[in-house]
Chain A
Amino acid sequence: MKLNRRTFIGASAAAAASLHAPTVLAEGHGKPRVVVIGGGAGGATAARYLAKDSQGQLDVTLVEPSRTYVSCFFSNLYLGGFKDIEDISHTYGTLAAKYGINVVHDWAVDVDRESKVVTLAGGARLPYDKLILSPGIDFVEDAVDGWSIASQNAMPHAYKGGSQTELLKAQVMAMPEGGTFAMVAPPNPYRCPPGPYERVSMVAHVLKTTNPTAKIIVADPKEKFSKQALFEEGWGKHYSGMIDWIGADFGGGVVSVDPSAMTLTIDGEETKVDVCNVIPAMKAGRIAELAGVTDGNWAPVNAADMSTKADDDVYVLGDASRQGDMPKSGFSANAQAKVCANAVRGALTGSKVFPAKFSNTCWSLIAKDDGVKVGATYEATEEKIAKVDGFISATGEDRALRKTTYEESEGWYAGMTTDMFG
C-alpha cells in the first residue's frame, strides 16, 4: 500500500502540532520574538531560515560577538596552504540587509528563563518567546595537565576559528629545520571527529615541502579515531616516516605540557617540541551552562525539534547539544538548525511542521587531491537522534575518485556557507 502524500503530511503535521501548541504570546508586544545566540553553523542557519520562511511574521535577533565568522571547517585547508583566510571568512551583512535579521554584535552573558530575557555584555536586555542557543564549544578546565586558556598563545588549540588558526599556521611556518610539531588530541566527544587527523595531514603536507626532516607526534587519549584506516593509509603513502601517532594503549592519554619550557611529557617521557597544538576536552559553550540547560558537559535535547529537556522554549543546536548519534560537525549543526527553525516557526505562527530529517557528510583532505568522506542519515526517535544508514570512503580508492571527492567538498563549502549567510 502506498501512503498518500496528503494524509502522510497531514498526519505528521498534526502529530507535531500537538506537541507544539502555538505559544500564547504575552500581551502588549507585536510579532513573536526569536533570539538566536551564536552566529555559527547552527545559529546563522537557524536565523536565516526563520527569517526567510516566516516572511516578516517573526522578529529574529542574532547575537554574535564577532563581525567576521572564520569557519573551523576548511581551517585545516588553510593550514595546508589550500585556502586563504579570506576564503574561510564570512560576514553578517546579507543576513541583516536581505533577511531583515537584527544582528547584534555582543556577548550574551545571562539568560533568565523565568522572565524570558537575555542579557548582553553591553547591558541590553532582549525578551524572547523562543530562544535558540548555538554557542559551539568551550574547553574543560584542567583537561590537559599544565595547560590552561592562558597558555593558548604558547600552545594554541586552534579549535575555535580565527586568530588561533592563524597563530598555529605562523608557528608551523616558523619551525626550525628538523623540528617537532606535537598535537595533544582530545577525548570523545568533541567537535569534528576527523578534524585533528585532517590537521595532522595538512601540517605534514606543508612540512613535506618546507621542512622535510621535521617530525610530527600525536598524543591521543583514544584507542582509535575517525576514518583511521583512511588516514593511516594516506600517511603511509604521502608522509612516510613523518608521523608518530601514540594512542591510549601506548600512554597517549597520560600527558602533561609545560608551555614556558615548550615540553610535552607522554607517559613519563619528556620531549622538547617546537609547536604544541593542545586540543583539550570540550563542553558546551558557557552560555548554555549559564542558561541552566546543560546536564554535565552538554545540553540534552529532544530529537524532534532540538528543544532542551530542561525548557520547551529554549533550543540548543550543534556542538553544544547532546542529541544522540550525530557527530559534532558544521553539517550536523546546519541540519539541526533547519529542523529547529521549522518547528519554532510552526509553534509561533502555526505554519506546517514537517517531520524531522537529518543527514551529515564530513570530508577530509589527506593530501592534495586526496579527499575522503564519511556520512550518514538520521531520524528522530523518542530517545535521541538515531542513525539510520551510513557510508565511508574505502581504502585503495583510485586517484580520480579521491580528486572528485575533494572537489565535492569545495562544492559543499560554497553551498553550506551560502546556506548560513545567504
Chain B
Amino acid sequence: MRAASTASLVAAAWLAAGAVGAAEGGDASVFARCAGCHEVGPAAKDRIGPHLNGLFGRRAGAHAGFAYSESMQRAGNDGLIWTAATLDAYIENPRALVSKTRMSFRGLASAQDRADLLAYLRRFSDDPSDLPEAEPTARGVDHDIDPSILALRGDPEYGEYLSAECVTCHRVDGGDTGIPSITRWPTEDFVVAMQAYKRALRPHPVMQMLAGRLSDEEIAALAAYFHEIK
C-alpha cells in the first residue's frame, strides 16, 4: 500500500492528465477528513491546524499568528509554495514533504479523493482562475515510477561510502543545529524524503542537486546505512 502511494507522490497522474475533481467546485465531503483540525470558508479560524483559506500560491508555514513546527517553517523559508502538486504530495503523505510536521495525519491514499479535496480547497483561494492546473514539475515526469522503489533493500556498505558526502553537513552523531538530523530514520521515510527532493517537490538547492544524481538503488543504500548507524 505504501509503495503504491509513493508512486503517486510525484504529483499524481490526475494533474498531468488535466483531470479536475469530481464536481466542478470539488467535493466538500472529503474535507471531513481534515475538519477535525482545519476550518475553511468565510468565518474560518485557526484550530489545531491553521485555517486553509488563501492556500494556493502561498508559502508554506506563512499564515501569521499560527505556531508552525520548525520543520514547516524551514520548508517555507526554503521556498516551499503550496501548489496543486505540492499540496497533493503533502496530503498524500505529510512527512514526505515536511519530515517533522506537527500535522498528525497519515495521509490520503486515494488520488481521486485528493483531487476532489484540492478542487474544493481551491474555491477558497483568492483567484482560483489564475491558478495553474499543474506545475511544470508535475508535467512530463515519469509517472511509471517503479512501485518497488520502497521495496529495494539497500546495501549498507555502499551506503556507508555514499554517506561520506552527507556527513559533512548531517552529523553522524545526530546533532541537528542548523541542519536536520537524518540518522535512525525509518527507511521508508528516508526514501520518500529523498525522492521528494529528487523530484523537486521539496525545495532546497543543495538537497535537490545531491538527490538528483542519486539512483534509486543508491538512495536505498543510504537509507539502510543511516538507519543502522549507532
User: How many residues of chain A have a CB within 8 Å of chain B?
Assistant: 39
Is the CB–CB distance between A404 and B168 below 8 Å?
no
The residues in B between 161 and 199 inclusive whose CB is less than 8 angstroms from any CB of A are 161-162, 164-165, 167-173, 175-179
Query: Per-position contact with A for B108-134: 1 when CB-CB < 8 Å, else 0?
Result: 000000000000000000000000000
The reply to whether A3 and B217 form a contact with Cβ atoms under 8 Å apart is yes
Q: Closest approach, in angstroms, between the C-beta of B96 and any C-beta of chain A?
A: 20
Which residues of chain B come closer than 8 Å to A8, judged between CB atoms? 215, 217
Spot the interface stretch: B21-29, B35-43, B98-106, B202-210.
Answer: B202-210
Residues 382-422 of A, flagged 1 when their CB comes within 8 A of B and 0 if not, give 00000011110000000011011001111110111011000
Q: Which of B44-95 contact A (CB under 8 A)?
A: 74, 76-79
Docked complex Cα distance between A140 and B167 (Å): 35
Q: Contacting B179 at CB < 8 Å: which of A338, A354, A390, A415?
A: A415
CB distance from A355 to the nearest CB of B (A): 9
Return chain A residues, CB-CB under 8 Å to B173: 418
Bound CA span A343–B171, Å: 23
B107 part of interface (Cβ distance < 8 Å): no
**Also in contact, A412 and B169, with CB within 8 A (given A3-B217, A404-B74):** yes
Contact of A331 with B by CB under 8 A: yes
Contact assessment for B164 and A49 in the assembled complex, using a CB-CB cutoff below 8 Å = yes
Given contacts A377-B213, A391-B206, A414-B177, contact A338 B169 (CB under 8 A): no
Provide the bound-state CA to CA distance between A334 and B165, in Å: 9
Q: With an 8 A cutoff between CB atoms, is A29 at the interface?
A: no
Could you tell me the distance in whole angstroms from the C-beta of A420 to the nearest C-beta in chain B?
A: 9
CB closest residue in chain B, given A331? B168
Chain A residues positioned under 8 Å from B177 (CB to CB):
407, 410-411, 414
Residue of A nearest to B167 (CB): A419
Query: Closest residue of chain A to B163, judged by CB?
Result: A338
Give the most central of B157, B168, B173, B206: most A CB within 10 Å: B168
Instruction: Say if the beta carbon of A308 comes within 8 Å of chain B.
Output: no
Given contacts A5-B217, A391-B209, A403-B77, contact A409 B178 (CB under 8 A): yes
Shortest CB distance A107–B (Å): 28
Known A335-B168, A404-B78, A412-B168; contact A375-B209, beta-carbon cutoff 8 A: yes
Whether B165 contacts A359 by the Cβ 8 Å rule is yes
Instruction: List the A residue with the shortest CB-CB distance to B152.
Output: A5
Once A352-B157, A403-B77 are accepted as A-B contacts, the answer to whether A414 and B178 lie under 8 Å apart by CB is: yes
Is A354's CB under 8 angstroms from B158's CB?
Answer: yes
Q: Is A237 an interface residue (CB 8 A)?
A: no
B155 touches A400 (CB 8 A): no
Contacts of B167 in A (CB 8 A): 415, 418-419
**Beta-carbon contacts under 8 Å, A313-362 to B:** 331, 334-335, 338, 342, 352, 354, 357, 359, 361
Q: Closest residue of chain B to A408, judged by CB?
A: B178
Q: Does A104 contact B (CB under 8 A)?
A: no
A389, B212: Cβ atoms under 8 Å?
Answer: yes
Per-residue interface assignment for chain A, residues 212 to 226, with 1 indicating a CB less than 8 Å from any chain B CB and 0 otherwise = 000000000000000
Decide if B146 is an interface residue (CB 8 Å cutoff).
yes
A-B contact pairs, 29 of them (CB 8 A): A2-B146, A3-B215, A3-B217, A5-B218, A8-B217, A331-B168, A352-B161, A354-B158, A359-B165, A361-B206, A373-B205, A373-B206, A375-B205, A375-B206, A377-B209, A388-B213, A389-B213, A391-B206, A407-B177, A408-B178, A411-B171, A411-B177, A411-B179, A412-B168, A414-B175, A414-B177, A415-B169, A418-B167, A419-B167
16 further interface pairs, Cβ-Cβ under 8 Å (given A414-B171, A419-B167): A2-B216, A3-B217, A5-B155, A331-B168, A354-B158, A354-B161, A359-B165, A375-B205, A375-B206, A375-B209, A377-B209, A403-B77, A411-B177, A411-B179, A414-B178, A418-B167
Residues of chain A touching chain B, judged by Cβ–Cβ distance below 8 Å, are 2-3, 5, 8-9, 49, 331, 334-335, 338, 342, 352, 354, 357, 359, 361, 373, 375-377, 388-391, 400-401, 403-404, 407-412, 414-416, 418-419
Q: Which residues of B contact A (CB under 8 A)?
A: 74, 76-79, 146, 152, 155, 157-158, 161-162, 164-165, 167-173, 175-179, 205-206, 209-210, 212-213, 215-218, 221
